[in-house]
């Protein structure tokens, strides 16, 4: 039996502690060759289309893919290279940036609820409700009590989603400080990429250690059975794409879905169709 | 200068009349060879990705692709083969079926408003607000006054969208009665396609002429400068895909968008990035 990427990449929280810095962002577990990974991704894209269609046809369960990670870690690249394999009719992508005034007037999960997948659909969160604990945690703009409350809210929320038929796949795209530098420099170098550069990303980069610690704590406290975290080494784009595609495929394969058998009188329908119009 | 598909496929309303039955659903204007069409579509998909990204980067204008057509005419196939070329992060697909109880309590455009594209985004309507006139028109379940009012509402609505920065591309996928029979029979034959078959589609098929007349009248009355109709011969799937991809590409090319030039002090940013962390 082949190793499952889910087992290999699942966050290991030991005695309530998870240390992101102990993980190698350049690692490539279960797949070492770039060209093999690209070939495998081509096959996975075909399989993902079919698995997603099976979910869509059954209209019962849904899947929520949460993509978290620092600027430049490849959330959008994952959407472009992996999520694009699925039929857009059954996919929605929601991007969570600074809350609007209206959103701030509500509970922090209000805007998230509105973007959940309908039965049969895949929803992708490019950032998510985790921003609402990561940012205040890293910048110190909150109290411990408020953080604890939000963590509890998230765990209850995800538990409810899960028991309601939504499988949550939470991916932390783990990028190194050096690779982020290279990616930012490339954005500055290329006139067709420069629009993606945000000067405030450098302020976030200046708090690198604070954010790494915040990620570690968030993973430790929200790595539940209902919605575990996967730590995706993201310095190699080809690895990130292959790993997330494989995670999705493993998740869907486990459901063992078949096309719904609808009860039709085939002979009668054929004869209705074949009679002259 | 090459012929533009927009000119060729644009609905021609003469003296206020448009007769759908006068159009050949098996026609292939400007592209006669299936294999050429597939090669061209591969190139168009690459170009559409870039054109869509330019729209996304600029965050000003948006595009609404309306797909109308009878059951089996290929609305979903268009989404699968054409819309899938674009980055899912900037695409939303809304499917309009029977209105829910909540939707019926509102004006018929209420549910449509909620699915409009944000600036920079592509929204695709798999069926649309046109169902709310086509169905009552074809089945006689309404009054002339109410139909006139809805047509007026739609024309005003689309005019407002257009002047607000949303370009509307309305495609009527024109399928023949015989080709629909073949497609329905194929759905019945294939166990992995049977779930798409809906017995009520045969009731709609039984009203074929009523629907063709309704489409003709709807096109005649809503073929505005702000939002013209394109009649897509849809008996050949390869033609339909190529034609709609070409329509989108022609539309976006006309915008002549460039990547936004943001004012950055590149030297200062590079030196901030290159200093040790």
Which pLDDT tens digit goes with each residue over B213-238? 999 999 999 999 999 999 999 999 99
pLDDT of residue B191: 87
Contact call for B262 and A195, based on CB within 8 A: yes
Contact call for B79 and A89, based on CB within 8 A: yes
Per-residue confidence at A45, pLDDT binned at 50, 70, 90?
A: very high
What digits encode the pLDDT tens for the residues B118-163? 999 999 999 999 999 999 999 999 999 999 999 999 999 999 999 9
CB A249 within 8 A of CB A48: yes
Which residues from chain A sit within 8 angstroms of residue B91, using beta carbons?
A: 88, 93
Convert chain A into a string of H (helix), E (strand) and C (coil).
CCCCHHHHHECCCECCECCHHHCCCCCCCCCCCHHHHHHHHHHHHHHHHHHHHHHHHHCCCEEEEEEEECCCCCHHHHHHHCHHHCCHHHEEEEECCCCCHHHHCCCCCHHHHCCCCCCCCEEEEECCCCHHHHHHHHHCCCCHHHHHHHHHHHHHHHHHHHHCCEEEEEEEEECCHHHHHHHHHHHHHCCCCHHHCCCHHHHHHHCHHHHHHHHHHHHHHHCCCCCCEEEEECCCHHHHHHHHHHHHHHHHHHHCCCCCCCCCCHHHHHHHHHCCC
The whole-number average pLDDT for the span A248-259 is 97
Best of A58, A89, A185, A269 to disrupt the B interface (most B CBs within 10 Å) is A89
pLDDT of residue B98: 87
The whole-number average pLDDT for the span A139-160 is 96
pLDDT of residue B164: 96
- The β-bridge relationship of strands B166-174 and B122-126 is unpaired
Which residues from chain B sit within 8 angstroms of residue A205, using beta carbons?
A: 277
Matching residue, tokens 């694009």: A84
pLDDT of residue A261: 87
pLDDT of residue B1: 44
pLDDT of residue B277: 56
pTM: 0.96
Whether the pLDDT of residue A18 is over 80: the answer is yes
Which residues from chain B sit within 8 angstroms of residue A272, using beta carbons?
A: 202
Whether the pLDDT of residue A1 is over 60: the answer is no
Contact call for A87 and B95, based on CB within 8 A: no
Whether the pLDDT of residue A2 is over 70: the answer is no
The whole-number average pLDDT for the span A137-155 is 96
CB B197 within 8 A of CB B184: yes
Per-residue confidence at B249, pLDDT binned at 50, 70, 90?
A: very high
What digits encode the pLDDT tens for the residues A169-193? 999 999 999 999 999 999 999 988 9
The whole-number average pLDDT for the span A91-116 is 95
Contact call for B79 and A95, based on CB within 8 A: no
pLDDT of residue A161: 98
The whole-number average pLDDT for the span B261-275 is 89
Average pLDDT over chain A reads 95
The whole-number average pLDDT for the span A197-223 is 95
Whether the pLDDT of residue B97 is over 60: the answer is yes
Measure CB to CB from residue B195 to each of A84, A262, A273 and give the nearest one: A262
Contact call for A270 and B185, based on CB within 8 A: yes
Measure CB to CB from residue A91 to each of B88, B205, B270 and give the nearest one: B88
Distance of alpha carbon A129 from alpha carbon A109, whole angstroms: 7
Best of B57, B70, B195 to disrupt the A interface (most A CBs within 10 Å) is B195
Which residues from chain A sit within 8 angstroms of residue B264, using beta carbons?
A: 188, 194, 197, 199
- What percent of chain A stands above pLDDT 90? 92
Which residues from chain A sit within 8 angstroms of residue B195, using beta carbons?
A: 57, 259-260, 262
CB of A21 within 8 Å of any CB in chain B? no
List of E strands, B117-243: 122-126, 166-174, 229-233
Interface of A with B in 165-204 (CB under 8 A): 177, 181, 184-185, 188, 191-192, 194-197, 199, 202
Best of A54, A92, A96, A195 to disrupt the B interface (most B CBs within 10 Å) is A195
Whether the pLDDT of residue A33 is over 60: the answer is yes
> Rounded to the nearest 10 degrees, how much is the dihedral formed by the CA atoms of A236, A238, A240, A242?
-150
Distance of alpha carbon A225 from alpha carbon B241, whole angstroms: 44
pLDDT of residue A135: 94
What digits encode the pLDDT tens for the residues B72-82? 999 999 999 99
Contact call for B264 and A199, based on CB within 8 A: yes
A276 or A7: which carries more pLDDT confidence? A7
pLDDT of residue B137: 95
Whether the pLDDT of residue B87 is over 80: the answer is yes
Per-residue confidence at A201, pLDDT binned at 50, 70, 90?
A: very high
Contact call for A273 and B199, based on CB within 8 A: no
- Smallest CA–CA distance, residue A260 to chain B, in Å, is 6
The whole-number average pLDDT for the span B19-41 is 97
Contact call for A259 and B177, based on CB within 8 A: no
Contact call for A194 and B259, based on CB within 8 A: yes
The whole-number average pLDDT for the span A151-155 is 98
């Amino acid at each position: 039996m082949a190793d499952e990427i889910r087992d290999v990449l699942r966050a290991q929280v030991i005695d309530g502690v998870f240390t992101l810095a102990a993980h190698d962002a350049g690692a490539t577990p279960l797949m070492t060759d770039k060209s093999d990974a690209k070939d495998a991704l081509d096959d996975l894209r075909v399989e993902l289309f079919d698995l997603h269609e099976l979910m869509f046809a059954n209209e019962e369960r849904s899947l929520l893919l949460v993509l978290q990670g620092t600027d430049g870690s490849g959330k959008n690249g994952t959407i472009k290279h992996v999520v694009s394999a699925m039929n857009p009719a059954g996919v929605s992508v929601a991007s969570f940036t600074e809350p609007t005034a209206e959103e701030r007037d509500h509970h922090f999960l209000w805007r998230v609820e509105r973007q959940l997948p309908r039965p049969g659909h895949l929803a992708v969160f490019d950032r998510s409700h985790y921003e609402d604990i990561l940012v205040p945690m890293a910048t110190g703009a909150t109290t411990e009590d408020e953080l604890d409350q939000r963590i509890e809210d998230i765990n209850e929320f995800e538990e409810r989603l899960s028991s309601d038929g939504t499988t949550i796949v939470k991916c932390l795209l783990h990028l190194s400080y050096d690779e982020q530098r290279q990616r930012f420099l490339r954005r500055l170098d290329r006139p067709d990429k420069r629009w993606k550069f945000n000067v405030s990303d450098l302020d976030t980069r200046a708090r690198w250690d604070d954010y790494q610690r915040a990620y570690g704590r968030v993973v430790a406290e929200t790595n539940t059975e209902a919605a575990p975290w996967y730590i995706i080494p993201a310095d190699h784009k080809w690895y990130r794409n292959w790993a997330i595609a494989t995670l999705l495929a493993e998740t869907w394969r486990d459901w063992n879905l078949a096309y719904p058998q609808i009860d039709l009188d085939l002979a009668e329908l054929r004869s209705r169709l074949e009679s002259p119009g």
